[in-house]
Amino acid sequence: MEPATQQQALIDSDPAFKSVIGQSKHRITDDRTLLQAVMDFANDETDSEPVRDSWRQSLAMDIGLFPPIEQPPSAWRKYEREVRNQIPESKIDKAVTNDQQRAKNVLTEAMQDLAALKTRLQRYAANNDGRLGMVRTPVLIQQDNDLRIEWALEGGASLITILSYAAALLITDEDHVRRDLCRCSLDTCSKFFFAKKSKSGVGKPRTRYCCDEHMKKAHEIDNARRQRVSKEKRRQAALQRQRRGRGK
Ligand SMILES: [Zn+2]
């Protein structure tokens, strides 16, 4: 299928990604934004409704329920009702959570166990005729008097394809994406993010916490813990003194 214009190609590339990793708030235009969208999916920060729809359809096909192609809307409504009756939402929840876990595994391995990530990529490639199956299309963007090229990625129709490409980018550390990959140290968050430059532009980039709020929260928790420890130490010391006093 020949896209009408290159601008169109960028728009056309979106639905494939959406149905696999959900609608990210980051538009996918290059390798870094692709990884950002994978991180958003792992973080459960994408709108996963398109992924749920895609799973619902695929699970329906598994049990022999096929969508009525080119049928009037009334037939579609009947089909959708049938699917919703037969495919429990809990089954879709599980499928999406499972997909998110696979994205998390790729990112975690990139940070902790590169050998495991290389093995995973070989396994993914073996299942896909050794190809990564992604197409990068240059898209000419005209804005006022400026012309620039953005890269549209197409062909991300399966999770394996997207995760293979993400794994390859992380292994080769293209554009320092692996070096910049971080995970929030606040236990209740653990989100993946790219190292952020400090607001002033000077000093080290922020790598431990995904946002200022979580840095503050983690410090508060840490201070409270330290206060508890020192309070406990004072209590123990007072008890010791009491015991010694009685012993006299
Ligand atoms: Zn966080």
List, for residues 184-203, the tens digit of each pLDDT value: 999 999 999 999 887 777 77
184: CA distance to ligand 1 center in Å?
5
The residue among 10 and 148 whose pLDDT is bigger is: 148
Instruction: Please answer whether residues 179 and 111 qualify as being in contact, where contact means their C-beta atoms are separated by less than 8 angstroms.
Output: no
The residue among 29 and 154 whose pLDDT is bigger is: 29
Query: What is residue 223's predicted lDDT score, i.e. its pLDDT?
Result: 92
Query: What is residue 127's predicted lDDT score, i.e. its pLDDT?
Result: 79
187: CA distance to ligand 1 center in Å?
8
Query: What is residue 102's predicted lDDT score, i.e. its pLDDT?
Result: 97
User: Average pLDDT for residues 214-230, to the nearest whole number?
Assistant: 92
User: Average pLDDT for residues 13-31, to the nearest whole number?
Assistant: 80
* Placement of tokens 């494939």 in the chain: 16
> What is the band of 68 on the pLDDT scale with cuts at 50, 70, 90?
confident
* Alpha helices per DSSP H over 173-211: 177-180
194: CA distance to ligand 1 center in Å?
12
Does position 231 have pLDDT exceeding 50, yes or no? Answer: yes
Query: What is residue 3's predicted lDDT score, i.e. its pLDDT?
Result: 39
Please write the tens of the pLDDT for every residue from 91-111. Answer: 999 999 999 999 999 999 999
Query: What is residue 37's predicted lDDT score, i.e. its pLDDT?
Result: 92
Rounded alpha-carbon distances, angstroms, from residue 129 to 46, 115, 160, 161: 30, 21, 12, 11
196: CA distance to ligand 1 center in Å?
13
186: CA distance to ligand 1 center in Å?
6
43: CA distance to ligand 1 center in Å?
10
> What is the band of 10 on the pLDDT scale with cuts at 50, 70, 90?
very low
Query: Percent of the chain beyond pLDDT 90?
Result: 52
Please write the tens of the pLDDT for every residue from 112-127. Answer: 999 999 999 999 888 7
Does position 59 have pLDDT exceeding 80, yes or no? Answer: yes
192: CA distance to ligand 1 center in Å?
8
182: CA distance to ligand 1 center in Å?
10
Residues 6 or more apart whose CB falls under 8 angstroms from that of 104 comprise 42, 192
Residues 6 or more apart whose CB falls under 8 angstroms from that of 149 comprise 138, 139, 140, 141
214: CA distance to ligand 1 center in Å?
5
221: CA distance to ligand 1 center in Å?
14
158: CA distance to ligand 1 center in Å?
28
143: CA distance to ligand 1 center in Å?
35
45: CA distance to ligand 1 center in Å?
12
Residues 6 or more apart whose CB falls under 8 angstroms from that of 190 comprise 183, 184
Q: Hey, what are 110's tokens? A: 């990139």
**Ligand 1 ion: nearby residues, β-carbon < 5 Å:** 184, 186, 189, 191, 210, 214
Query: What is residue 153's predicted lDDT score, i.e. its pLDDT?
Result: 63
Please write the tens of the pLDDT for every residue from 137-181. Answer: 777 888 888 888 876 666 556 898 889 989 999 999 988 999 999
Angle between helix axes 6-21 and 89-112 (nearest 10 degrees) is 100
Residues 6 or more apart whose CB falls under 8 angstroms from that of 113 comprise none
Query: What is residue 89's predicted lDDT score, i.e. its pLDDT?
Result: 94
pTM of the model: 0.78
190: CA distance to ligand 1 center in Å?
6
* Placement of tokens 């692709």 in the chain: 34
